[in-house]
């Protein structure tokens, strides 16, 4: 999703291929022999692997339109710091809400609410994490928005009650075609999470 | 260590402060309130946190001397990919060798040797991971070199026998003053690891 949002922000046309991860294609194995994971962006015949790497690459390969980073070194390191926060703290916490149960789930919920409050405070009154323009941290975080309904359902809480500004930010991001066209439907995610819970935890 | 190597590569003078991590200073807590971890580089009164972020920042704040990244987008994403490999796969595996015992340690040794072979193949016949010049991936990886003696002692194996090119690369990096001045003495690391093993595993 991050890769698609990034490419659409730059106005780059691309062919989107969905792979069967239970039976990985020769193209995937050859393009990402180390991790054998998606996403892989193939540009000029060369593979770029890992979603954040792809976003970074897209920004540097198409630098003229909608830059994802500010131009000053401090602004750039600030964006990388928050991106790392999303990729580690936020990402680990959210998984525990829909992928775990009992004590671990409760712990995840607590960590998630804490992460969301920290992010809300970092967002402050800016329209985007990047300031006035949609950037790197926005791309990283907005791709989780499709999952919010699942967090609320399986975690039994309201995210908006905890962090109204973050929800306002997400809704504004969703007005961008680059985002709305790239994110899956929340209902499908809830169904996917329910199926996952049934299979791996023995309960919805 | 990464921060110091990076600053020395750029010829930047800095004041180095060692903090007591069992009693974190107000300066550290105020500079990195989210993670409360070292390293923190303070430049022009602003904090930059997390070692890879610091290296990245140093490269962008002092762009003229010894660039750590190639200038083309593909070369840059390639460096970020390998850096991520060092920071995740290599880093996790190495800890298990000196910080674990029994089955977990054996697993770590297997993962470590696999990672080292992958890195050796990526290095190929180039003098540095970055090609002809010492760069981002070199900085990330060389800081582990002080630990090699500890891996060999506690893992009971020879790294050079598994990956002679990697050892040749490390020795060449150590000829740089930026590196040799920044890395701790291997004997001290072995003693530190032995102490850690005694305290946390109940055995050397």
Model confidence pLDDT, tens digit, residues B42-52: 999 999 999 99
Q: What are phi and psi of A38, to 5 degrees?
A: -95, 160
Q: Which residue of A has its CA nearest to B71?
A: A60
Query: Which chain A residue is nearest to residue B46, measuring alpha carbons?
Result: A74
pLDDT classification of A204: cutoffs 50, 70, 90: low
Instruction: Identify the H or E element spanning B6.
Output: helix B2-9
Q: Which residues on B lie below 8 Å from A74 (Cβ)?
A: 44, 46, 48, 57, 61
Q: With a cut of 80, say whether residue A201 has pLDDT above it.
A: yes
Cα(B158)–Cα(A51) distance, integer angstroms = 36
Report phi then psi at A187, rounded to 5.
-60, -40
Q: What is the pLDDT of residues A54-86, one digit of tens each?
A: 999 999 999 999 999 999 999 999 999 999 999
* Among A46, A50, A57, beta carbon nearest to B84: A50
> Residues near B186 by Cβ (< 8 Å), separated by ≥ 6?
B146, B147, B148, B149, B150
Mean pLDDT (chain A) is 94
Which of chain A's residues have a Cβ under 8 Å away from the Cβ of B60? Answer: 73, 76-77
Radius of gyration of chain B (CA): 17
Asked which of A52-66, A190-204, B75-89, B153-167 is least confident by mean pLDDT, the reply is: A190-204
Task: Out of A50, A60, A84, name the one closest to residue B81 (CB).
Answer: A50
Contact assignment for B80 to A34 by CB distance below 8 Å:
no
In DSSP terms, which residues pair with B48 in a beta bridge?
A: B41
- Tell me the C-alpha distance between A173 and A128, whole Å: 8
Contact B75, B128 (CB under 8 A): no
Q: How many contacts, defined by CB atoms under 8 Å, are there between A and B? A: 53
Beta bridge partners of B46: B43
**Which residues on A lie below 8 Å from B57 (Cβ)?**
73-74, 76-77
Cis peptide before A102 (omega within 30 of 0): no
- In chain B, % of residues over pLDDT 70: 99
Which uninterrupted H or E stretch holds B168? helix B164-174
Token pair in block for residue B203: 């055995």
Spatial CB neighbours of A20, under 8 Å, sequence gap ≥ 6: none
pLDDT score at B164: 94
CB contact under 8 A, B76 and A85: no
B20 pLDDT exceeds 90?
Answer: no
Please list every residue in chain B whose beta carbon sits closer than 8 Å to the beta carbon of residue A60: 73, 76-77
A73: which chain B residues are within 8 Å (Cβ-Cβ)? Answer: 57, 60-61
pTM attached to this predicted model: 0.91
List strand residue ranges (DSSP E) for chain B, in order. Answer: 40-43, 46-49
Q: Kindly report the backbone phi and psi dihedral angles of residue B131, in degrees, each rounded to the nearest multiple of 5, phi listed first.
A: 105, -125
CB contact under 8 A, A77 and B34: no
Q: Please name the residue of chain B whose CA is at the shortest distance from the CA of residue A46.
A: B74
- The answer to whether the CB of A138 falls within 8 A of the CB of A55 is no
- Shortest CA distance from B45: residue in chain A: A74
Q: What is the pLDDT of residues B132-179, one digit of tens each?
A: 999 999 999 999 999 999 999 999 999 999 899 999 999 999 999 999
Token digits for A69? 């980073």
The residue with greater pLDDT, B20 or B120, is B120
Cβ pair A46:B85 closer than 8 A:
no
Is B80–A118 a contact, with Cβ atoms under 8 angstroms apart?
no
């Amino acid at each position: 999703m991050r890769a698609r949002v990034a490419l659409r922000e730059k106005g780059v046309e691309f062919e989107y291929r969905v792979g069967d991860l239970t039976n990985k294609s020769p193209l995937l194995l050859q393009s990402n022999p180390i991790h054998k994971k998606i996403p892989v962006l193939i540009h000029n015949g060369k593979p770029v692997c890992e979603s954040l790497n792809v976003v970074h690459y897209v920004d540097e390969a198409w630098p003229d339109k909608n830059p994802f980073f500010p131009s000053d070194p401090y602004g750039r390191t600030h964006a990388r710091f928050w991106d790392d926060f999303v990729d580690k703290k936020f990402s680990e916490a959210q998984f525990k809400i829909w992928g775990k149960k009992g004590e671990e789930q409760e712990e995840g919920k607590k960590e998630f609410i804490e992460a969301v409050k920290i992010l809300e405070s970092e967002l402050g009154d800016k329209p985007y994490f990047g300031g006035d323009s949609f950037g790197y941290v926005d791309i990283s975080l907005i791709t989780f928005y499709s999952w919010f309904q699942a967090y609320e359902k399986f975690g039994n809480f309201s995210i908006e009650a905890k962090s109204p500004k973050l929800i306002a930010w997400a809704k504004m991001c969703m007005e961008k075609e680059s985002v709305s066209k790239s994110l899956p439907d929340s209902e499908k995610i809830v169904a996917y999470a329910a199926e996952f819970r049934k299979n791996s935890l023995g309960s919805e």
